[in-house]
Structure 1
Amino acid sequence: MSEPIVRIAARGDGVTATGRHATLAAPGDLLLADGTVEPGSHHQVPPCRHFPECGGCQLQHVDDVAYRVYLVDRVAGALAQHGLEADIRTPHLSPPRTRRRASLRAVRAGKAVALGFNAERSHQIVDMHECHVLRPELFALVAPLRKLLPSLLVGRGAAGVRLVLCDQGVDVALEGVRAEGLAAAEALIDFAERHRLARLALDQGYGLETRFEPVPATVTLSGVPVDLPAGAFLQATEDGEAALVQAVREAAEGATRTADLFAGLGTFALALPGQLLAAEAGRDTILSLLSAARRSDRPIQTQHRDLYRRPLDAGELAGFDGVVLDPPRAGAVEQVAQLAGSAVPRIAYVSCNPATFARDARVLVDGGYRIAWVQPVGQFRWSTHIELAAAFAR
């Protein structure tokens, strides 16, 4: 019996109304009795030769209309698990080839090196020869790194390659490699200079060690250059960052004193008006924000604070009329419990995990808040990963 595909499941499979799953199926496709899929109106030709083997993308076969519906369904489904509904806005999608950070893997393949993302649900590495999500500046380094790495890999072990585009160029961090002796050191400097890297760092098992950084690496946030510590978190695309900043500004509009919790480098703190407190557990990160705030004369106080162990309590929150939350994937259950008992009138919650966001939203709603709206942001183009910003108000 043939059945139409009506939706996309959380991991990217197409699903029929009766619950049958089909890989690489889009809404509107027809799942035939023999298990094959007949493409429909929302099924597109994937642009990349590596799809679907490469784990960097799961949904290149789905057009933008169906992809936006999928993102809305992910948020709505997570909220429904906790008995919640919300006004979910049309998702913002970052364009192709705009991702400014990536974590790749490298492994020996005979005398050569395979470098790319892991295959979908596998430890096998797909050797990358094209990419439709990475910024061109990042992809341009894949072939040169493939030539550099054979002399740095340890035995048959795999290495990690982290690429981040910052103001001065590409910041490259290599993990699980070995570079010993003068010749190896000179080869690394030559590589960095030839490709005009912003920074080159190695982790040989004792943490990242910078080998090349002619000037301090920075990233500009809301017009303010901020020192970029090695390994610091950065939104995946500038386009997605701008969409999230706009949503946070709207959610926090009217606040004159705001607490930015899990503040990172200041993505939101540097974009908001009025007096701000920025709290962040990463020492180097919060020092970068403090230095940037002082150089730009921004009224931002900072706290080096682990908000899982020491969330701001209701008494500390009493002086704020706005709070921004941007926690890791685990959410902010400890901090949300304190917010639920506070009188803060408006909260902007940024999340990269609909499940923990919905769990925390339930606590806030039970504490007297309402969800004004949710703005999904698809900055990991063609993936099942989703970002969002939500406005809560009393």
Structure 2
Amino acid sequence: MSARFTIGKLGAQGDGVAETETGEVFIPFTLPGETVTAARERDRAALRALIEASPLRIEPACRHFGECGGCALQHLEAQAYQQWKREKVVHTLRGIDCEIGDLVACAPHTRRRVVLAARRTETGMLLGFNRHLSPEIISISECPISLPGIVGALDGLRALAELICATPKSFRMAVTVTGSGLDVAVHESGKLGENQRRVASNFVIAQGFARLSIDDEIIIEPKKPVVMFGSVAVAVPPGAFLQATEAAERTMADIVGGHLKRAKKIADLFAGCGSFALRLAARSEVHAVEGDAAALSALDRGSRFATGLKRVTGERRDLFRRPLTFKELNAFDGVVFDPPRAGAEDQSKQIARSDVPFVAAVSCNPVTLARDLRILIDGGYAVKSVTPIDQFLWSPHVEAVALLEKPRKRR
């Protein structure tokens, strides 16, 4: 049964929030100031009708918006959207004395890596994204956040999913645009028979895809998928982590590089395939620490075949279980760390005890960033600036780069 609600604010996930006598109700695809009817279930409600629209409401960029759960805020005017996203960082870092810069905006049609959901049905292969808060797959024919190279290949990717599907369940297909073509990394599609493997391989070649891997096994690799980190070419492993957009990666690298320009020896923690390390090595020695062996190997190969770099060393190490100690860190005069969403609590405690003068913290989660910055501040660091960066267009996710300094002790 539907009820009437007045939306008071946007929640942290981009849902409209209505205050009621029994608490807050979260209603997706609504905006502050709007009056709507919605079907409520506990603290959530599904939008049924828009009675009074906000003047900030605009026409969504995608025909799938409202069904597909990939985007939350296509209906919000751009300046208001950017202000809301920056405010997420401001609100989460309240109590921390720091300058928070303007949001670095994200352009449409720039996302180079998407994770699609696929499932075979009686009427054909579904390929797209899950409906908001649902396992249901919404098959897509367009995607205004993604690079044209992904959107233009949707029919081919759907056909490939049909060829490799060996399960009645849904499975994931991570698609990355590289300099060599699309890198397609599939997970949980079932075990391929020999004939399936041969047919899928021929299809990949015909489509001009760079690689197909299933559950980290390379099925066929007509071309090494190569990504440029600054001037360094890196052949990335299947399903490798990359920043969502190349422009955001470049911006983050420029901010980090500017802060660490006086550092002669830099530790890059959670280094991945080298998006920071290989750029920083243009003028500093870099020690890259990463827990994933394939990513570290790709970074190492990239550095060995590059020209004009300072010395780059690598260390495979689980920084959650065994962070670099403050004594080890004192060998460096610059540190950058870019952990997963869980942040780097234990590693931050060691950095806080060190006397490394320049630190750059990169985070896709303002909540864990706030915790880690507090640890560093309590250890004597001052936060010089925080830059919010949007590389997850129309979603509630936001990146941030924080720059910190500490006077170095005399030895």
Is the structural similarity TM-score above 0.5?
Answer: yes
Letter in 2 for 1:215: K
| Residues 1:56 and 2:70 aligned together | yes
- Whether 2:79 is the aligned partner of 1:65: answer yes
Structure 1 residue 322, shift from structure 2 partner: 1.0
1:280 to 266, 290, 309: 290
Match of 1:292 among 281, 299, 302: 302
Structure 1 letter corresponding to 2:219: R
1:23 matched to 2:28: yes
* 1:146 to partner: Cα distance: 2.1
Query: Alpha-carbon deviation of 1:229?
Result: 0.7
Match of 1:77 among 91, 109, 113: 91
Q: Does 1:269 align with 2:277?
A: yes
What are the equivalent positions in structure 2 for 1:331-342 lying under 5 Å apart? 331-342=343-354
Deviation by residue 1:155-205 (Cα, 9 ceiling, x = unmatched): 4211211101111000012222246445323321221112101101123xx
Q: What is the aligned counterpart of 2:200 among 182, 188, 211? A: 188
Which structure 1 segments of 5+ residues have no match? none
Match of 1:89 in 2: 101
For 2:37 and 2:236, the matched residues in 1 are separated by: 54
CA distance in 1, matches of 2:254, 2:8: 32
2:257 maps to 249
Within the candidate set 15, 19, 33, 1:13 is matched to 15
Aligned length: 386
Q: Structure 1's 315 and 138: CA in aligned 2 closer, same or farther, altered over 3 A?
A: same
Query: Aligned to 2:323, what secondary structure does the other structure show?
Result: coil
Give, as a single letter, the amino acid of the residue that structure 1 aligns with 2:149. Answer: E
Q: CA deviation at 1:283?
A: 0.9
Letter in 2 for 1:374: V
Structure of greater relative contact order (alpha carbons < 8 Å, 6+ residues apart): 1
Deviations 1:207-253 (A, max 9, x none): x2212212322211111011201121111111111111122122323
| Contact map agreement 1:76 1:86 (CA 8 A) in 2 | no
Match for residue 176 of structure 1 among 184, 188, 206: 188
TM superposition shift of 1:102: 0.9
Q: Which residues of structure 2 form unaligned runs of 5+?
A: 39-48, 407-411
CA root-mean-square deviation:
2.3
Q: Tell me whether 345-354 or 295-304 shows the greater mean CA deviation.
A: 295-304
- Partner residue in 1 for 2:337: 325
In 2: Cα distance, 1:17 partner to 1:70 partner: 19
Q: Does 2:166 match 1:149?
A: no
2:242 to 234, 237, 240: 234
Structure 1 residue 36: Cα displacement:
4.5
- State the alpha-carbon separation in 2 of the partners of residues 218 and 45 from structure 1: 37
| Percent identity over paired residues | 37
SS in structure 1 opposite 2:91?
helix
Distance 1:301 1:180, change over 3 A: closer
8 Å CA contact retained: 2:167, 2:190 = no
| Distance in 1 (alpha carbons) for counterparts of 2:92 and 2:198 | 52
Matches within 5 A, 1:93-242: 93-178=105-190, 180-203=192-215, 208-242=216-250
Equivalent residues of 2:270, 2:337 under 8 A apart = yes
Contact 1:90–1:376 (CA under 8 A) maintained in structure 2: yes
Structure 1 residues 3 and 181: CA distance shift in structure 2, 3 A: closer
**3-state SS of the aligned residue for 1:376?**
strand
Q: Structure 2: how far apart are the matches of 1:53 and 1:33?
A: 17
- Seen in structure 2, the aligned counterparts of structure 1 residues 21 and 160 have a Cα distance that, compared at 3 Å, is closer
Q: Over residues 92-149 of structure 1, what are the superposed CA-to-partner deviations in whole Å (9 max), with x where a residue is unaligned? A: 1221111111111111232301111111111110111111111111122221232333
Could you tell me which amino acid in structure 2 is paired with residue 65 of structure 1? Q
What secondary structure sits across from 1:355 in the alignment?
A: helix
For normalisation by structure 2, the TM-score amounts to 0.88
Q: Check whether the contact 1:26–1:66 (CA below 8 A) recurs between aligned residues.
A: no
Q: 2:182 touches 2:225 (CA, 8 Å); kept in 1?
A: no
Q: Secondary structure at the match of 1:324?
A: strand
